[in-house]
């Protein structure tokens, strides 16, 4: 049995971490092309059609079940923090459909000959703590002995069938707002390279363990037309999914809100491989302004682990949504808008 004092860093056991582990969107599309199309089911309200955050199944006239799963390899070395971050990220998919989680199942893959039971137990405790904060139990799960450490959740939630929010309802005239600043991928890359200071680590932990529970309060909210969370494909990738779903052009500002220290790290050359893979996957569907600094493009494609909610809201309802968010302890920044045009993303100065 391994002694916890002799264990390697969690991040050293994985080839990637957090949502930066996700398969690049272009590769994922190629893989899914081989998947047979599911037969039509009248009660399947949301499936795989638009790469939404979760599946939704109508149970009755008043309830629909939201089901999702999300897991990844360590983004930090502290096992409790790893569990918290992974669970918070998984819960976000239910909130991003306008739903409320009801219970979760743990997904655990650990190198049991390398990590001690105590360390693995701390990962599970961190995940359970995030679920407790969300008001739900971890009601079971499944574990395997794996080469790299993996942790996450399958989460079930509920929403009214008529109030499901998806990534495809945006319309021209909508404003796009984001509830968390960008740069998680950059900070996690700096952490792996031992280039992240204490303030940077605290910013990384704070943003990735903050629940997106505000999403559950947006179901039925006037003027809220579309909702998704920004995770592994970066702001541009998830904005592109929204543009495709709307059949319209999404404009994204070139200077979105960022976490402290991110710009300095980007200008010093710190970035993730996933950022490059993201751009290679969807860059042909994104228009950049002339003279855009390379670090800004890398920020816009930076994979966000447990990122914020991207909300499409009618322009006339923006002030009302801002006031509603403040009452609920949530802030956001305007990052773009939806305009008439082909389903593309346009970065604007």
Report pLDDT digits (tens) over 110-149: 999 999 999 999 999 999 999 999 999 999 999 999 999 9
pLDDT tens digits, 181-211: 999 999 999 999 999 999 999 999 999 999 9
Q: What pLDDT, on a 0 to 100 scale, did the predictor assign at position 3?
A: 54
283 part of a folded domain: yes
Of the pLDDT bands very low, low, confident and very high (cuts 50, 70, 90), residue 15 is confident
Asked if 114 and 140 sit in the same domain, the reply is yes
Asked if 25 and 93 sit in the same domain, the reply is yes
Alpha-carbon gap, residue 165 to 179, rounded angstroms: 16
Closest CA to 274 of 75, 12, 76: 75
Counting the structural domains of the chain, the total is 2
Mean pLDDT of 279-292: 96
169 part of a folded domain: no
**Any idea which residue has 């947006």 for tokens?**
218
Q: What pLDDT, on a 0 to 100 scale, did the predictor assign at position 38?
A: 63
Mean pLDDT of 320-335: 97
Asked if 273 and 190 sit in the same domain, the reply is yes
Asked if 80 and 16 sit in the same domain, the reply is yes
Mean pLDDT of 220-242: 97
Cβ-in-10-Å burial (0-12, 13-18, 19+) of 270 comes to buried
Q: What pLDDT, on a 0 to 100 scale, did the predictor assign at position 248?
A: 98
204 part of a folded domain: yes
pLDDT at 8 over 50: yes
pLDDT tens digits, 18-38: 555 666 666 766 766 677 766
Asked if 239 and 274 sit in the same domain, the reply is yes
- Among residues 163, 191, 216, which one ends one of the domains? 163
- What is the set of active-site residues? 19
Alpha-carbon gap, residue 158 to 137, rounded angstroms: 15
Of the pLDDT bands very low, low, confident and very high (cuts 50, 70, 90), residue 1 is very low
pTM: 0.93
Q: What pLDDT, on a 0 to 100 scale, did the predictor assign at position 14?
A: 87
- Among residues 132, 163, 194, which one ends one of the domains? 163
What is the residue-averaged pLDDT of the chain?
Answer: 94
Asked if 13 and 136 sit in the same domain, the reply is yes
Mean pLDDT of 95-109: 98
Per-residue three-class SS string for 5-33? HHCCCHHHHCCCCHHHHCCCHHHHHHHHC
176 or 6: whose pLDDT is higher?
176
3-class SS of residue 50:
coil
Q: What pLDDT, on a 0 to 100 scale, did the predictor assign at position 50?
A: 78
Asked if 204 and 340 sit in the same domain, the reply is yes
- Beta bridge mates, 101: 157
143 part of a folded domain: yes
Q: What pLDDT, on a 0 to 100 scale, did the predictor assign at position 113?
A: 96
Domain that includes residue 337, residue range: 174-348
Check which CATH number belongs to the domain holding 232 and give it.
3.90.650.10
Asked if 314 and 178 sit in the same domain, the reply is yes
- Beta bridge mates, 105: 154
Alpha-carbon gap, residue 159 to 156, rounded angstroms: 10
Check which CATH number belongs to the domain holding 49 and give it.
3.30.1330.10
Mean pLDDT of 316-320: 98
The CA-CA-CA angle for residues 187, 309, 90, to 5°, reads 75
Closest CA to 270 of 186, 185, 183, 181: 186
Asked if 344 and 324 sit in the same domain, the reply is yes
Q: What pLDDT, on a 0 to 100 scale, did the predictor assign at position 254?
A: 97
Concatenated DSSP letters for 73-99? --SSS-HHHHHHHHHHHHHHHHHTTT-
- Among residues 163, 191, 221, which one ends one of the domains? 163
The CA-CA-CA angle for residues 324, 326, 330, to 5°, reads 105
Mean pLDDT of 66-73: 96
Hey, what are 267's tokens? 């200008």
Mean pLDDT of 310-318: 98
Closest CA to 342 of 269, 253, 260, 251: 251
Q: What pLDDT, on a 0 to 100 scale, did the predictor assign at position 19?
A: 54
């Amino acid at each position: 049995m391994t002694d916890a004092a002799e264990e390697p860093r969690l991040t050293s056991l994985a080839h990637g971490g957090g949502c930066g582990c996700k398969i690049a969107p272009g590769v994922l599309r190629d893989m899914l092309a081989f998947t047979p199309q599911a037969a039509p089911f009248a009660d399947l309200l949301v499936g795989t059609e638009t790469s939404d955050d979760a599946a939704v199944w109508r149970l009755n006239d008043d309830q629909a079940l939201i089901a999702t799963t999300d897991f990844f390899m360590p983004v930090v070395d502290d096992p409790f923090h790893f569990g918290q971050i992974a669970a918070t990220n998984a819960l976000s998919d239910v909130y991003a459909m306008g739903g409320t989680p009801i219970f979760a199942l743990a997904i655990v893959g650990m190198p049991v000959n390398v990590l001690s039971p105590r360390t693995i137990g701390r990962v599970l405790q961190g995940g359970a703590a995030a679920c407790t904060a969300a008001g739900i139990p971890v009601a079971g799960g499944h574990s395997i002995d794996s080469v790299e450490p993996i942790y996450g959740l399958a989460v079930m939630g509920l929403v009214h069938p008529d109030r499901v929010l998806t990534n495809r309802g945006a319309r021209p005239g909508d404003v796009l707002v984001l509830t968390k600043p960008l740069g998680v991928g950059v900070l996690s890359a700096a952490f792996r390279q031992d280039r992240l200071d204490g303030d940077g680590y605290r910013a990384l932990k704070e943003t990735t363990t903050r629940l997106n529970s505000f999403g559950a309060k947006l179901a039925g909210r006037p003027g809220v037309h579309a909702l998704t969370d920004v995770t592994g494909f970066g702001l541009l990738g998830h904005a592109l999914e929204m543009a495709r779903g709307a059949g319209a052009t999404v404009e994204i500002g070139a200077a979105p809100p960022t976490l402290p220290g991110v710009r300095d790290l980007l200008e010093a050359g710190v970035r993730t491989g996933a950022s490059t893979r993201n751009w290679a996957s969807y860059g042909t569907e994104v228009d950049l302004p002339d003279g855009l600094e390379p670090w800004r493009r890398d920020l816009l494609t930076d994979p966000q682990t447990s990122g914020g909610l991207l909300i499409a809201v009618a322009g006339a309802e923006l002030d009302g949504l801002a006031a509603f968010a403040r009452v609920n302890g949530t802030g956001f920044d305007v990052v773009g808008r939806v305009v008439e045009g082909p389903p593309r993303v346009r970065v604007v100065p």
